[in-house]
Amino acid sequence: MIIVLMGYMGSGKSTVGHLLSDILDFNFIDLDLVIEEKEQKSINEIFELKGELYFRKKEIEYLQEILQNKSDTVLALGGGTPCYGKNLEAILTSPNTISFYLKTSIAELLKRLRNEKQSRPLLNHLKSDEELLEYLGKHLFERSPFYSKANHVISTDAKSYQEIIEEIVIKLV
């Protein structure tokens, strides 16, 4: 089984994924880390040197490889992964795959991301909280229709990682 975690950056996909994989004794894969490892560059460097289009092509390629995997895996996607190409269709139609949207409010995302702008290539050009808030609102509006097609939606606001994981496990039974 492949458990796919999707949601906007800062929604907790990597942290929840890592903890969930430990509890279930599954492999854990963070798609962004796979891309960095295979490309021998950070996500920031890939965006700077080769551009977003190159990054998205590699993202599609490596996602397809992972979805072919037969071992029990928790897969944390990048925030944009389900919104490009046929990635969402591949996830939803892949046998033995179940997807979860970690839904986080704009207000909560602002709290989580305001101090991480420099390490996130899509945010590092934003100067103020107001710009970040506007960007998050626009992006979430565009991406929510994709995320909402996940098999399950888990609201993450005001919940501990443990509570989120418990909700996921219950839905797996």
Binding site residues for ATP, as ranges? 10-15, 120
Token couple for 75: 């897969």
d(CA 4, CA 11): 14
Cα–Cα distance between 81 and 85 in angstroms, integer? Answer: 9
Binding site for Mg(2+): residue ranges? 14
Binding residues: 10-15, 32, 56, 79, 120, 143
β partners of residue 6: 101
> Residue 17's closest CA among 57, 66, 90, 54?
66
Cite the annotated binding site for substrate by residue number: 32, 56, 79, 143
